[in-house]
Amino acid sequence: MSVQIQPQTAHPAKDFTMNVLNGLAIGTVVALIPGALLGELVRALLPHAPWLDVVLQATQVSNGVMGLVIGFMVGLNFKFTPIQSAAVGVATMFAAGAVHFEDGKMVLHGTGDVITMGVTAALAAGVVLWLGNSMKAYTILVIPVAVLAIAGVAGRLALPYIQQITYWIGQGVESLLTLQPIIMAMLIAVIFSILIVSPITTVGIALAISLAGVGSGAGNLGVCAAGFGLAIAGWKVNSHGTSLAHFIGSPKMSMANVLKKPKIMLPVICSAALCGILGAILGITGTPMSAGFGFSGLVGPLAYFGLEGWTALNIGKALIAFVVAPVAFGILFNRVFTQMVPIIKPEDYYLNVK
């Protein structure tokens, strides 16, 4: 698989950055899609079909090796050889922090830190480019060792410091919880709609500050606004599968596009603001574990039902908040910013995923 947003240009630094960001974005979606599609469904069926536990384990492993997938995707974007790409993947996996060592045993827990993955993959790619093909017959001996020893170890040592970025952002979001509920929900929804298309993990932020209640619901609705909004905006220029992956999987797959052209987030931000306000009015709630998932895997809606109950009224509220509103606002603001105030165009949302 090769992923490329725009054709290569004569700007090495720009090309390098885009290769890393594209690998980071698509690798994240590839690793998380199995869990998003199957995770909650399998959990619901487990009491009646315990043999499905192996499927749930498979999705958890898929989440856990996200660093490996991201590193390998970055290598493919640089057109590295399989050996070089695998070396980048292993270094990124080690540095990300998903692998823990407890009582002499190696334990896979969580996905790891996404920012650290990006930094390590970039450093690993730099090491591979520095060594080039000079190793020739010794490539298989030198490249894996050099990339892991230099980039992997450096990334792992930097992990605690890089994680502070998530902590600081979490503290900023936490300060919003003291505001009036509707204002709080609006701001949290907007912030989460932006964070979900950045290297920052929204789930990590939510867990760091124990975001719950209406604040958690607002975070989920912000992610929904981003997922549905980006899918709608790119519907004409992207394949339907790619568009659907934005809200079924993760909007992070558009991260490189957003960082390259931040203005394409204007419709999403406006939609997220209104979704957050609506969520506060309807009383959409969530848990720290559900905030940041949005519609993906139905985690957001299921968490709401778990807290408030499966009543006809709550089902109606969930449909409005998690589907109708983000779709309606997505269509509305996409039209506003492409036709009424034409500052963006569908081509800005193009993703070439091969």
Give the residue carrying structure tokens 């509103």.
325
Q: How many residues does the chain have?
A: 354
* 85-125: pLDDT as tens digits: 999 999 999 999 889 888 878 888 878 888 899 999 999 99
Of 136, 131, 145, 18, whose CA–CA distance to 78 is shortest?
Answer: 18
Choose from 43-47, 207-211, 276-280 the range with maximum mean pLDDT.
276-280
| Three-class SS state of 124 | helix
* 56-65: pLDDT as tens digits: 899 889 888 9
pLDDT at 7 over 70: no
* Domain chopping of the chain, boundaries: 3-165, 179-349
Q: What percent of the chain lies above the pLDDT cut of 90?
A: 51
pLDDT at 39 over 60: yes
How many helices (H) does the chain have, and how many strands (E)? 16, 4
pLDDT at 147 over 50: yes
- How far is 214 from 23, CA to CA, in rounded Å? 34
- How far is 100 from 315, CA to CA, in rounded Å? 40
Tally Cβ neighbours within 10 Å of residue 103.
5
Q: What is the pLDDT of residue 184?
A: 93
